[in-house]
Structure 1
Amino acid sequence: MEEEIMEKKKIKGTVVLMKKNVLDMNDLKASLFDRVHELFGKGVSLQLISAEHTDPVTLDDVPGHGRIHFVCNSWVYPAHRYKYDRVFFSNKSKINNNVHEIIEMGKLQLSERLTYLPCETPEPLRKYREEELVNLRGNGKGRLKEWDRVYDYATYNDLAMPERGSNFERPVLGRHPSFPYPRRGRTGRKPHKKDPLTESRLFLLRLDIYVPRDEQFSLVKFSDFLAYAVKSLFQVLVPELAALCDKTINEFDSFQDVLDLYEGGIKLPNDATIKKIRDCLPWEMIRELVRNDGERLMKFPTPAVIKEDKSAWRTDEEFARETLAGVNPVIISRLQEFPPASKLDPKAFGNQKSTITKEQIEPYMNGLTVEEALERNKLFILNHHDALMPYLRKINSTSTKTYASRTLFLLQDDDTLKPLAIELSLPHSQGDSHGAVSKVFTPAEEGVEGSVWQLAKAYAAVNDSGYHQLVSHWLNTHAVIEPFIIASNRHLSVIHPIYKLLHPHFKDTMNINALARQTLINAGGVLELTVFPGKYALEMSSAIYRNWVFTDQALPVDLVKRGMAIPDSSCPHGLKLMIEDYPYAVDGLEIWEAIETWVTEYCSFYYPSDEVVKQDTEIQSWWEETRIEGHGDLKDEPWWPEINSRAELIRACTIIIWVASAFHAAVNFGQYPYAGYLPNRPTVSRRFMPEPGTPEYAELEKDPDLAFLKTITAQIQTVLGVSLIEVLSRHSTDEIYLGQRDTPEWTSDAEPLAAFEKFGKKLIEIEGRIMARNNDSRLKNRVGPVKMPYTLLYPNTSDYSKEGGLTGKGIPNSISI
């Protein structure tokens, strides 16, 4: 190739460019300046993209080599923004020793994109490989600008808003042993003037918080995100929404009022309110969404949980089924001792053992005794007691009034669960060390007892909703994965095989996390406004992170740890499920095994032995920094594996891919289908269980529906919460699903390509089996009383038609929303 270039022989090449434009609302100023620079023959930025999905430079008919394709996947800024030359690599596999010369193209440098372990890197490429990683690490100093391609770590010191007073102060998560947390991407903004420990914040509606430019949403993704965030946006902006209620301020007066959100919307009360809302909205394209006549404002799509039957969600059967096939099916565990014990320190919290008795639950156990049910593995528990009790006194000092809950279930012969009791506990009035004060409620269908039981289920659902959003979803996917993304870009070259393996599973995560810190999980943000822990939400998740274990995130390990499965080599996947019809586990184990097989075949191609893994300097530095820096508050935990064997590398990569793809899909994309109807998944309780002889109890007897609605999430919180989860539950139109890549030319190594093709076909087979199970009437947990099939782990690979929206199915490659 060098000789051909020296002779200046012409080679046909194709470059497709994409510039920023005025629709790029992340950066309107730079987009406008692009037009100015065009007059002088200069461009501010360019993107190399393909006609299909990604951004190539393709050289055709290269003598002796044929077609060479460069997958650049990067924004390029003017040369004066860089202190180094940009380097891109083609996807061509190992050809011969003469093809590794760098092709100079102005400030861009293109080389053969070969998949190389560090020790295999040809000498001409080694310098570029090493220098690129140094550039990506940065120097740890100064505020980072949009053109800085720097991946670095910071604590969660950007949540507080000190300028708004003490109620908006928040602890720095990750700075002190009392508040451990995963690290997030560094922005380098200056300390806040009123609190040097807090990083200064951008204006609330600014969406250009720094993440490395290549981690930002595509224009298509950003447009989708913006369009569906409109409803949440103007509710934050417009306090006049409190005037929308018809009879009572901020209350639903009936279940029909709730249904009107989906069936008719809310009509604004007067022209003045309409004008105020429209005038507050920042862009004309958004203002047009609020009609001049005010009709049908805030009309939401009908959630699947009430689409077929508007009342089936209230049944005990559906309440229990959703612990196995709902939006948070990852908490339920098998009860192995009775009464349920607590792991809280008795010196600090006194006696926290459950007060549920045999006499209370055995009348509902189909003739079984507690001892018999334990022996036959028929007792299960949804346990939110220990996680919430330490924070309950703080939480209930706010407008929230809630409990720590334990919910017991009996496994019946048809594999469905039957609720037996709900225990609601409060801290002792004389202090935490005096233990818990608990009340136990058992099933009832009629009269005031039935109404009390419905409220008990609502309190349990509030606990589960908050834990789901803060822990199962935010902490255990978004937050814990970000350090892996940062470390991967700092220590794994783009030509490293593990970088190529993991990179699709990191797409958009840093961007969505940054937006979350800006508007959702910050002090006074949407999450605090709509989920019961309120201002203590992230602080509580920090306490729970202290018990996070990386290796436990493997699905088989998790199922065994929760007692939902036991090892059994004679069963599929080597596990015997304690509930055979457990949709999340049944579908999940198939997906887990498919991922594990794909990762095994891929890694085995590049790592012929354990010794090669040990000698891979990039892998070793990547893993060490992930532990010591990215998850630094847990760096000394003994459970961290050493990546000194191929099996350990395969397991680590499988866990990362599982968490970023299937696990996130299971706990995210069911939010609107299940919780878009807030009475089914209330996020806040505003008063305690009414006591006999009180006005609240009399109201419960007279109008149980009104009492229920006055207890759970208020109207404004409901509308705001539904707006949020509608955005979070939507697939982007440019979504890339598990088993797919953004370009077919991500590598030219034949064996990995064949293994990946096999992986995709395996996922299509799994789709067929999921649909068959959903159509099997014997499997009652698959559809349930609400007639809503479980499709959250349906890969959507065979339907790769860019279907976006509220599909309730599909496993994206990454945590992209």
Structure 2
Amino acid sequence: MVETTGCCGLLQACCHRHDPQKYIIQGEFKIDRSYWFSLCASGLSVAIRLYSQENMDQTTRKGIESENAYVMKGKELERKKHEVLSMKVPTKVIKFKLKFEVTRDFGIPRAFVVENRYKKHEFFLKSVTLHYIKHPDILKKRKFHFYCDSWVYSNTKIGFKQFSSQIKLKGEWNPWDRIYDYDVYNNLGDPENGRLYNRPVLGGSTKFPHPRQLKTGHLNCQHDHSRESEASCFQFYVPPDERMSDEKLQESKNYFVEALIRFLASESTFPHLWDRECHDFVTGVAHFFVPKTAISKKDVRFIRSIINFCRKLKLPSSHGGPSRSDPSEEQDIFEDIIGFYADKEVEELDNSDKQRLEKLVLKEILNQVVATLALKRHDASAQLPSIIAEEIFAWVEDKEFGRQMLAGTNPVRIRHMKAALNERVFILDHHYLEQFLTMINGKSVCAYATRTILIAPDSSSVTLQPVAIELSLRVCKFHVASNDTAYHQLVCHWLQTHVVVELFIIATRRQLSVFLGKILPEISRNKTLYKSIIFLNDGGILETLLFTGEYPMELSSHLYKEWIFDKLALPEDLLERGMAKPRVRDEVVSGPMEHVVRDKSSKKAAKGAEQEMFEVDAEVELVLEDYPYAKDGIKIWTAIETWVTEYCNVFYYNDNDVKEDEKIQEWWDEIKMRGHEDRQEGWYNINTFESLLKVLTTLIWITSGLHAAVNFGQYGYGGWPPNRPMLLRKFLLRDEKEMEDMDIIKFMEEMLPDKFQMKLAIAVMDLLSQHTLDEVYLGQTSPQKERPLIEDHKSIIQKKFRKFRESLEAIEQNIKERNKEYLLMNRWGYAKIPYKLLYPDTSKSMRPTSKEKGKHHLEKTDINERRIRNSISI
């Protein structure tokens, strides 16, 4: 923490003598995300005055005002001189202490006004804490908190009032406007450029129902006033409180630039797959028998000599059909894709790739790529996706394919097959695509509406294995994976996390205001709303990469018709999919909240992986014990639920308190009636303490655990396009003779996306799987620290939060132990990927040290990235 203490803060500065007829109020102002502020703040540039709400000035009919206090530049602590001069100032909170003179009848301060007289700079005001120094009737220890968390822009831009609630109805909105309103998705296309760029308006109709989005205030199309014209994502209106910090925005841009260079730049050299020193067949075989740390280079050379001899022999095909010779002699599609990740020197973009990129990425991003490559030959290398890092062909195995339904990037679609006689039969159903196939197929896209039956063979092995996929060809799995990828991106990732959270943020800013700090833990920090322009616009990245082509949002609208908020709660989701059964409740806990029923009879299993390190009062019992997403997720869910329960107990004593809280009721009604105007079924009222807990726990789960599970493994699994292809260019063969004579490798090469699409998909997966350096993670920061609460509640909230952290730490240990169990195949699978997408890792600091920053890229572990982010920003 950097603390800057100015002088007394009064207009007359330090030479001013206190008027004994007046009282002194001391204030602590916390400024954040403003590098220039600590360097430039001086003189009379930032003025602040207080208002009394209790007593009114009879002349102005306003609350009594204090005299102005001014933020003065003072001594800066804990910063080296060269760091300040070079502007390498870390993003930290800066404290300014000011004093205000007020009349004796001023009373309790209830409002303040900030006047920013800098012409070019804004600053981020986090909070203000006030207290009287000496007052006969008001104790010094009584403090008055203002939770601000908002940007303060220059008066020359916005006028004097900083926190006006007036809604701007006409004209384009300015960056400093704080406007939160709802709108339909009317900016996905640009019909003025022609029919090919026309996209339907989502929301507001029975044909295309959809949740609302933040109203942008952008200009309407000239010929169709129901639609907004397109804008660059960085010109797109986002309220200042929701924008990425400059540091994070630039970091995200840099990640994307680096990914494009790594995967799309022309390569001058690349070693043959069998000659690579790391992640090759030799080390893969060795690692199967002994740990990596036990293998020396001499051991690898010895094993390689054996492999070199074996390479001279004919190898049987793992795909059926005739045997094939030495893989080193086959420059097949898989080896070409491996070349995308190889260490190489790159000089420029391929001209055809550059032309296609010009239509897909921002000019600013593309120019940065070109400029970087123009400076010098650029060394580019990428970490292999985890799915092929240890076992190059593990993804081909049927059991690995089934395992990914439980521990991959989309573990939330698989469901128990209710009609099956065997309770260990499951289905992955993407048959909803059938009505879209006529529109989708064509333009080098070949899609099926697949339904896949999988079984868990016996009690000792719960790895799912596909037994029927429309047609009985191995390449059918490509189409299943393609369908599952589209559903994952459009529903599990986009609709169920980003869209849902955006609406909660809008309603929270409109209705709860300061109350957000009282009741909701951090859920929306750096939540950006740039998504529709970057990925979802006409002809954009999503339409280019997914087999749905120009129809992804229509498909999203169709699937929204069956969407229910309640099913986003993890226990309800598992029950609805038949992946869990209700646990019999044995005990009702008595006490102040008697309606909260908990099962306290969790029993430890006898041995092995079932020996739990951390027992939770789970509401459900899993059908498949080795279901990593559900097993880890239900523990995270229960820890969050317990924390929310104890947190809310501080502010609510019974159901009636919740029912009579007008702000909570207005907040929830607005989410239902305005945010989800087209989907009125399936909602419940917040009329009990338990219903409030369910809403808050679900919301926190969505922004933390659910998003972590469906987002941060994308490079690890989807970074290898054959494992999770986004589109396919070839139908399956139907003639038996053709199938017998088929060259399977050539067929797959023709089936997979073209090289540009695959390389761009890898780059996008790489971007989406990144963690920026200023993220807030689950269990790291107590709400009490981030938001000033009533003084009497501080100690109890800190104590409860420590228990929450302890629960997460116990869950970490549990995950470590389960990941060591050899018999739990879904924790590792044939690709040897430990499941850590729901690993909290609370031990790591929120902000990396300078040394850790330098190691950030070297230590990138894609799917193994630990920590559960507590916000959604990408």
- Tell me how far 1:559 sits from its aligned partner: 0.4
Q: Secondary structure at the match of 2:203?
A: coil
2:782–2:801 CA contact under 8 A, matched in 1: no
- Tell me how far 1:75 sits from its aligned partner: 11
CA distance in 2, matches of 1:75, 1:255: 61
Matches within 5 A, 1:747-758: 747-748=788-789, 749-758=794-803
Q: Secondary structure at the match of 2:428?
A: strand
Query: What is the one-letter code of the residue matched to 1:112?
Result: H
CA distance in 2, matches of 1:150, 1:726: 33
CA distance in 1, matches of 2:99, 2:809: 36
Match of 2:373 in 1: 290
CA distance in 1, matches of 2:43, 2:724: 58
Match of 1:812 in 2: 869
CA distance in 1, matches of 2:534, 2:351: 28
Match of 2:388 in 1: 306
The answer on 1:214 being equivalent to 2:241 is: yes
Match of 1:337 in 2: 419
Change (3 A) 1:177 1:233: farther
Deviates more, 1:544-553 or 1:136-145: 136-145
- Tell me how far 1:689 sits from its aligned partner: 0.3
Relative contact order (C-alpha < 8 Å, sep 6+): which is higher?
A: 1
Q: 1:463 aligns with which of 483, 487, 492?
A: 483
Q: Secondary structure at the match of 2:621?
A: strand
CA distance in 1, matches of 2:644, 2:382: 40
The answer on 1:481 being equivalent to 2:511 is: no
CA distance in 1, matches of 2:136, 2:508: 28
Match of 1:508 in 2: 526
CA distance in 2, matches of 1:78, 1:209: 26
Change (3 A) 1:401 1:42: same
Change (3 A) 1:409 1:615: same
Change (3 A) 1:189 1:272: closer
1:18–1:47 CA contact under 8 A, matched in 2: no
Q: Secondary structure at the match of 1:540?
A: helix
- Tell me how far 1:808 sits from its aligned partner: 2.6
Higher helix fraction (1 or 2): 1
Match of 1:347 in 2: none
Change (3 A) 1:50 1:223: farther
Match of 2:217 in 1: 188
- Tell me how far 1:493 sits from its aligned partner: 2.4
Matches within 5 A, 1:268-279: none
Matches within 5 A, 1:161-240: 161-203=190-232, 206-230=233-257
Match of 2:751 in 1: 711
2:775–2:846 CA contact under 8 A, matched in 1: no
CA distance in 2, matches of 1:456, 1:134: 58
Q: Secondary structure at the match of 2:450?
A: strand
Change (3 A) 1:331 1:47: farther
Match of 2:779 in 1: 739
Structure 1 segments unaligned to the other structure (5+ residues): 22-30, 64-69, 104-109, 116-131, 246-251, 339-370, 425-439, 442-451
Q: Secondary structure at the match of 2:226?
A: strand
Deviates more, 1:161-170 or 1:257-266: 257-266
- Render the CA deviation track for 1:656-704: whole Å, top value 9, x for unaligned: 100111100000000001111111111101110023378xx47x84531
Q: Secondary structure at the match of 1:504?
A: coil
CA distance in 2, matches of 1:19, 1:811: 27
Match of 2:461 in 1: 415
- Render the CA deviation track for 1:165-195: whole Å, top value 9, x for unaligned: 2111111111322111111111111111243
The answer on 1:676 being equivalent to 2:727 is: no
The answer on 1:664 being equivalent to 2:684 is: no
Match of 2:804 in 1: 759
The answer on 1:112 being equivalent to 2:145 is: yes
Change (3 A) 1:137 1:244: farther
- Render the CA deviation track for 1:27-56: whole Å, top value 9, x for unaligned: xxxx9xx99x99998689x99999986645
Query: What is the one-letter code of the residue matched to 1:382?
Result: L
Query: What is the one-letter code of the residue matched to 1:390?
Result: Q
CA distance in 2, matches of 1:43, 1:561: 56
Structure 2 segments unaligned to the other structure (5+ residues): 1-17, 48-70, 79-89, 102-108, 149-160, 271-330, 585-600, 603-616, 849-855
- Tell me how far 1:723 sits from its aligned partner: 0.9
- Tell me how far 1:158 sits from its aligned partner: 0.8
1:77–1:147 CA contact under 8 A, matched in 2: no
CA distance in 1, matches of 2:842, 2:115: 32
Provide TM-score, normalisation by structure 2.
Answer: 0.70
Q: Secondary structure at the match of 1:90?
A: strand
The answer on 1:520 being equivalent to 2:602 is: no
- Tell me how far 1:202 sits from its aligned partner: 1.4
Q: 1:402 aligns with which of 447, 459, 468?
A: 447
The answer on 1:90 being equivalent to 2:90 is: no
Report the structure number with the largest CA radius of gyration. Answer: 2
Matches within 5 A, 1:71-82: none
CA distance in 2, matches of 1:652, 1:794: 23
Number of positions where the alignment pairs a residue of Structure 1 with one of Structure 2: 687
Match of 1:378 in 2: 424
CA distance in 1, matches of 2:685, 2:30: 43
2:29–2:127 CA contact under 8 A, matched in 1: no
The answer on 1:143 being equivalent to 2:225 is: no
Query: What is the one-letter code of the residue matched to 1:314?
Result: V
CA distance in 2, matches of 1:272, 1:493: 51
- Tell me how far 1:209 sits from its aligned partner: 1.4
- Render the CA deviation track for 1:121-153: whole Å, top value 9, x for unaligned: xxxxxxxxxxx9994573555422110111111
1:89–1:114 CA contact under 8 A, matched in 2: yes
Q: Secondary structure at the match of 1:112?
A: strand
Identity percentage of aligned residues: 33
- Tell me how far 1:794 sits from its aligned partner: 0.4
1:241–1:716 CA contact under 8 A, matched in 2: no
Q: 2:693 aligns with which of 650, 653, 657?
A: 650
Query: What is the one-letter code of the residue matched to 2:725?
Result: P
- Render the CA deviation track for 1:95-143: whole Å, top value 9, x for unaligned: 9996699x9xxxxxx952489xxxxxxxxxxxxxxxx999457355542
